[in-house]
Amino acid sequence: MNYKKMDKILFIIPPYAKFDSFVNPDFNEGTITKGSRQYRSVATDMPIGLLSLSAYLKKYTAVEIKLIDFNILLNKMESFEYGSFVELFSDFLSTKEWIDYAPSIIGISILFTPSYQNMLDIARCCRDIFPSAIIVAGGGVPTNMYKEIFRDSTSFDALCYGEGEKPFLGLVKANNKFEYLEHNPSWITRKKVENGQPLQHDFIEDLDEIPFYDYDLLNTDEYGLNPTISTFALFDNKKHLFHVATSRGCPYRCSFCASHSVHGRKMRYHSISRVREDFKRLQEQYGAKTIVFQDDHFVADKQRALKIINIVKELKMTGFFQSGLALYALDRKTLEALKSIGLDQLVLSVESGSDRVLKEIMHKPLDLSIVKRVIADCHQLGIASDVTILIGLPGETKQDIEDTRAFLKTLDATWFRINIATPLVGSEMLDICIKNNYLKGSYIGCDFKDAVIETEDFTTEYIKEKAYSLNLELNFVGNSDLRLGNYEKALKGFENTIRVKSDHAFAYYFAAKCYKMMNLDEKYLAYKAKYQELIEKSAFWKNYANQFNLVALG
Ligand code: B12
Ligand code: SF4
> Is residue 296 lining ligand 1, measured as CB closer than 6 Å?
yes
Average pLDDT, the chain: 94
Give the ligand at the shortest distance from the Cα of 299. 2
Tens digits of residue pLDDT in 267-301? 999 999 999 999 999 999 999 999 999 999 999 99
Ligand 2 center–CA 227 separation, angstroms: 22
Ligand 1 center–CA 319 separation, angstroms: 20
Tens digits of residue pLDDT in 514-535? 999 999 999 999 999 999 999 9
| pLDDT recorded at residue 238 | 54
What percentage of the chain has pLDDT greater than the value 70? 96
Is 0.95 topped by the overall pTM?
A: no
Count of positions (residues) in the chain: 554
Tell me: pLDDT of 237 over 60: no
CB 53 within 8 A of CB 165: yes
| pLDDT recorded at residue 102 | 98
Tens digits of residue pLDDT in 185-196? 999 999 999 999
> Is residue 48 lining ligand 1, measured as CB closer than 6 Å?
yes
Give the ligand at the shortest distance from the Cα of 294. 1
> Is residue 12 lining ligand 1, measured as CB closer than 6 Å?
no
Ligand 2 pocket test, candidate residues 247, 259, 268, most atoms within 8 A of CB: 259
Please give the full DSSP string across 489-500, using - where no structure is assigned: HHHHHHHHHHHH
| pLDDT recorded at residue 362 | 97
CB 316 within 8 A of CB 340: no
Average pLDDT in the 488-495 region? 94
CB 498 within 8 A of CB 511: yes
| pLDDT recorded at residue 306 | 94
Ligand 1 center–CA 322 separation, angstroms: 12
What percentage of the chain has pLDDT greater than the value 90? 85
* Nearest in space to 425 (alpha carbons), one of 549, 256, 269, 303: 256
Ligand 2 pocket test, candidate residues 248, 253, 257, most atoms within 8 A of CB: 257
* Nearest in space to 407 (alpha carbons), one of 382, 370, 381, 460: 370
Tens digits of residue pLDDT in 211-224? 999 999 999 888 87
Give the ligand at the shortest distance from the Cα of 300. 2
Q: Whose CA is nearest to atom 78 of ligand 1?
A: 16
Which residues' Cβ are closer than 6 Å to ligand 2?
Answer: 250, 252, 254, 257, 259, 296-297
Rounded Cα distance, 407 and 423, in Å: 25
Ligand 1 center–CA 107 separation, angstroms: 15
* Nearest in space to 521 (alpha carbons), one of 553, 483, 489, 485: 553
Tens digits of residue pLDDT in 93-117? 999 999 999 999 999 999 999 999 9
Ligand 2 center–CA 250 separation, angstroms: 6
Rounded Cα distance, 391 and 378, in Å: 24
Tell me: pLDDT of 342 over 80: yes
> Is residue 323 lining ligand 1, measured as CB closer than 6 Å?
yes
> Is residue 257 lining ligand 1, measured as CB closer than 6 Å?
yes
Rounded Cα distance, 384 and 486, in Å: 12
Q: Whose CA is nearest to atom 7 of ligand 2?
A: 296
Ligand 1 center–CA 224 separation, angstroms: 18
Average pLDDT in the 292-312 region? 95
Give the ligand at the shortest distance from the Cα of 364. 2
Question: According to the 3-state scheme, what is the secondary structure of 189-222?
Answer: CHHHHHHCCCCCCCCCCCHHHCCCCCHHHCCHHH
| pLDDT recorded at residue 240 | 82
CA distances from 277 to 47, 142, 208, 270, 338 (A): 20, 33, 11, 11, 20
Ligand 2 center–CA 305 separation, angstroms: 17
CA distances from 505 to 234, 482, 517, 531 (A): 19, 17, 19, 5
Q: Whose CA is nearest to atom 4 of ligand 2?
A: 254
Q: Whose CA is nearest to atom 6 of ligand 2?
A: 257
In terms of DSSP bridges, do strands 7-13 and 105-109 run parallel, antiparallel, or are they unpaired? parallel
Tell me: pLDDT of 540 over 90: yes
Please give the full DSSP string across 65-131, using - where no structure is assigned: EEEEEHHHHHHH-S----SSHHHHHHHHHTSHHHHHH--SEEEEE--SGGGHHHHHHHHHHHHHHST
Tell me: pLDDT of 486 over 60: yes
Tens digits of residue pLDDT in 360-374? 999 998 999 999 999
CB atoms within 10 A of CB 445: 20
Ligand 1 center–CA 269 separation, angstroms: 18
Could you give the 3-state DSSP secondary structure of residue 134?
strand
Ligand 1 center–CA 278 separation, angstroms: 22
Backbone angles phi, psi at 404, to 5 degrees: -60, -45
Ligand 2 center–CA 326 separation, angstroms: 9
Tens digits of residue pLDDT in 379-432? 999 999 999 999 999 999 999 999 999 999 999 999 999 999 999 999 999 999
